[in-house]
Amino acid sequence: MAAEHGMSILEFNEYAKSHKNVDREIDGYLASLDNLPESLIIDSRLAWHFLPNSFKVYLIVEPLTGAERVFLASRTDENHASAETASTDIAERQRLEQERFLSLYAVNAGSWRNYDIVIDTSHASPGEIADVVMKEVAGSVGSVQPECWLSPKRLLPTQTTRELSSSRAEDVWSSVLKNGFDEKTAIDIAVYKGAFLIVDGHVRASAALRLQRTLIRCRLVAFESEEVLRGQNVSEFARTSTSMSHIYDWEKAHKFRLQSYPPWLEHGSFGR
């Protein structure tokens, strides 16, 4: 549709804000797919909303990695001078889409609660991601939604590395070496402004990093404004539980570097 109007996708998102027929046309098309007899894979920001009976998969990625992929893909419908400009354009496109979706439908397309499964594609191969999706589609989704499969390199510690040298940590590591990594036991996380904070499971997250796992099962305890603990929202939990020194120690202990640090943590800017 953007090409038909002689616009970039970013320009077309701006155009769509004042031309409601654009969304009506897209919405009608999506809703019509619900009546088709064959099975389909649909790539759409709002299919979860218009096709409520579908199996909903949300693919996420570290922003800089996503921008690099878009830039290197050299798509004919997008033109970026560099990965950095691609990152800026993608962020602006997402902001415009979120504003429009909130205005039109009162929905937050970025909320993990909309989906059956959330998968972090930052460090996993397409084959690994497909395997996880197909296993979940086959019927292994639990009662808690969404199922979350994240890269351990995206998880932020909320305590010091002191526990990693405890006898319990050594017991967990010995068990992993003997029996393999337990896929069924999830690490509890909270999501705050795009950062994944470990609520419980630092030792298991540490073991996953040592084994160079690309995906591990996580349980979403709280998302953005929700409560992590009774009377404590995610913002308070983030402010009181983590710090840059925690992260630096975590990186040093596991011999890796995060691709980026949360701006709100580096600059001490916490919302409510």
Chain segment 110-151, per-residue pLDDT in tens: 899 999 999 999 999 999 999 999 998 887 555 567 999 999
Please name which of 133, 145, 135, 45 lies closest in space to residue 97, comparing C-alpha atoms: 45
Tell me, what's the pLDDT at 179?
A: 77
Work out the pLDDT band at 82, boundaries 50, 70, 90: confident
pLDDT tens track for 143-177: 567 999 999 999 999 988 887 777 777 777 788 87
Tell me, what's the pLDDT at 57?
A: 95
The residues spanned by each domain of the chain are: 1-54+78-108, 149-257
Tell me, what's the pLDDT at 144?
A: 62
Q: Which amino acid is at 229?
A: L
**For residue 72, pLDDT beyond 60:** yes
CATH of domain 149-257: 3.90.1530
CA–CA separation, 41 and 199 (whole Å): 34
Cβ contact 54:42 at 8 Å: yes
CA–CA separation, 118 and 61 (whole Å): 11
**For residue 78, pLDDT beyond 70:** no
Tell me, what's the pLDDT at 228?
A: 93
Cβ contact 89:81 at 8 Å: no
Residue 89 exposed, middle or buried by CB count within 10 Å (0-12, 13-18, 19+): buried
Tell me, what's the pLDDT at 217?
A: 94
What count of residues does the chain have? Answer: 272
Tell me, what's the pLDDT at 10?
A: 81
**Please, which residues have CB within 8 angstroms of residue 114's CB and are 6 or more apart in sequence?**
48, 49, 56, 58, 107, 108
